[in-house]
Chain A
Amino acid sequence: MAEEDAPEVELSGEQKKEIAKWFLLHSPGGEIQYVAKDVRSVLDDDGAYGEAASEAFPAYNKAQMICLDMPRGMGEVLITSFGELEENQFLDPRTAQVGIVDHVKQVCTDARPATDEELPSPYIEEFRCALDAEVLKYVGEAYPKGVCSVYSTKGKDVEGPGSDFELAVVIQAARNSPQNFCTGSWRSVWNIEFKDDIQILELRGKMQVGAHYFEEGNVQLDTKHECKDSTIFQSPEDCAISIASIIRHHETEYLGSLEYCCDAMNAGSTEKASSYSHPFPLA
């Protein structure tokens, strides 16, 4: 092997920060603290690391939709862009609490009740709350360790019929088993447009599944799927039942096709393997 003529170019603090940020943002779900430790060591520049962390962690936490416990047993808060009031304040619509968050430590340090301005109007809340109850039921049944939330994303101050508004359903399930060298995450986001004029609900779903196995190497799964559906505009309770059932249907179908994909690829790659019985030519 030839000797490397390594150019001894010292990177600027800004460059180091960007590199650190890149590594942090590309961490698999549930592994950012491990990555952070390694990045810090490799970077050898706590100032640049600190800046990178303060920029990367909030983005990562929102993308991964991490779930944090609120203090004093007040429940959980999901870190999502839908619930973000300020960079470190996130609304949990179910308990009407706002969690104050330390992104880098990934903990909720405090919580306060939400103000009236931060919450949707009673009219919207009826729909939101009914849907939340139905989705909670679904997630409890379908996901062993799932969490969910329903947010009012558009038209939260709408007072009564006559205007359009939007809700977003967020579902997250994660399994982190570092001792078994594997992690996985399921994230789905459903945007629901309530179209008052035509009395229709339009749903757009985005599902993302990731898995990472790293016992004797590094194997990662990364899949995405989008779908659409619609249903009629009804009472809050009936809308909720209809929406939850649509979500359940699409997510179940997606899981089925993921399993099929794995099986098909498996068969495809080992198909050739079964014809491998030729000894090495020399032997």
Chain B
Amino acid sequence: MEAALGLMRRMPPKHTETALSALLSLLPRHSSDLLSQVDQPLQVLCDIDGGKEFILCEYNRDADSYRSPWSSKYHPPLEDGTQPSPELRKLEIEANEIFAIYRDQYYEGGISSVYMWEDDNEGFVACFLIKKDGSKTAHGRRGYLEEGAWDAIHVIEVGPEEDGTAHYCLTSTVMLSLTTDDESSGTFSLSGSIRRQMNMDLSVAEGHLCNMGRMIEEMESKMRNSLDQVYFGKTKEMVCTLRPPAEITQMRMPES
């Protein structure tokens, strides 16, 4: 399993799906582990009832059907598909509404979904997802054709309440893909994913959603900063290490 995850960290992100399906066929007994630990670009279905789109992931899947967060119905229809308890479903509905507002404010578009389910430890797990397909719009500088996609997955494990506080464990993954195709620089493709974790014990006085919301917001902002450093900073650094810009070569600077 460790070897499988090692492979996923090295294969080109563009080929994540192929790599994952190859691993699934080699290691069928590890399929649920693989599917939950390997990040794939998010896909979307349309809820027939509301006409709204929702995001597909392992957390709303049962057999080959996916549960919509809007109607809680499975697509394609599934008899006896797993459902959250009525109480949890209420929380889930509220979370979806609020998260949609958050998504609109920060991303000005895109699709969001929240799924919740009870876990074995008397707590529950919530999964917040965002999918934003990049626009070939204002970011077209100097005639660049830019395509970008941002997928974010935030999974929060909420422990049982004890003395008015609960333990929250957030694991976040952001997958980003950027491509430009232009005259002077040919094809330029930068893609990949980063994963981070955050653990907190918080008072439940203001409710779970408030706590989870704060954690996600903080995490997303940290990850945006990492993206700058990792995606663009490190990449640029590597390119310049391979072949330093002309000004430096004249001075013959010692390279590390």
Task: List the interface of chain A (C-beta within 8 A of B).
Answer: 1-9, 11, 15-16, 19, 22-23, 26-28, 31, 34-35, 37-39, 41-43, 141-146, 173-175, 182, 184-186, 207, 209, 211-226, 251-266, 268-273, 276, 278-283
Contacts and interface: CB of A to CB of B under 8 A. Distances in A.
B25 A37 contact: no
B245 A259 contact: yes
Interface residues of B, number: 93
A82 B226 CA distance: 42
Contacts of A7: 28
Contacts of B8: 218
Contacts of A263: 232, 236
B232 A262 contact: yes
A218 B106 contact: no
A23 B236 CA distance: 26
Given A22-B22, A209-B242, A261 B141 contact: no
Interface of A is mostly: mixed
14 contacts: A8-B28, A26-B15, A34-B6, A42-B7, A42-B23, A42-B26, A211-B239, A218-B10, A219-B193, A222-B190, A259-B236, A268-B141, A269-B227, A271-B139
A211 to B, nearest CB: 4
A282 B239 contact: no
Interface of B: 3-4, 6-15, 18-19, 22-23, 25-29, 31-32, 35-36, 58-59, 61-63, 82, 98, 101-102, 105-108, 117, 139, 141-142, 144, 146, 148, 173, 176, 178, 180, 184-196, 206-207, 209-210, 213-214, 216-217, 221, 224, 226-228, 230-236, 238-246, 249, 255
A22 to B, nearest CB: 7
A280 B212 CA distance: 10
B61 A23 contact: no
Given A1-B58, A42-B3, A214-B10, A255 B245 contact: yes
B241 A266 contact: no
A2 B230 contact: no
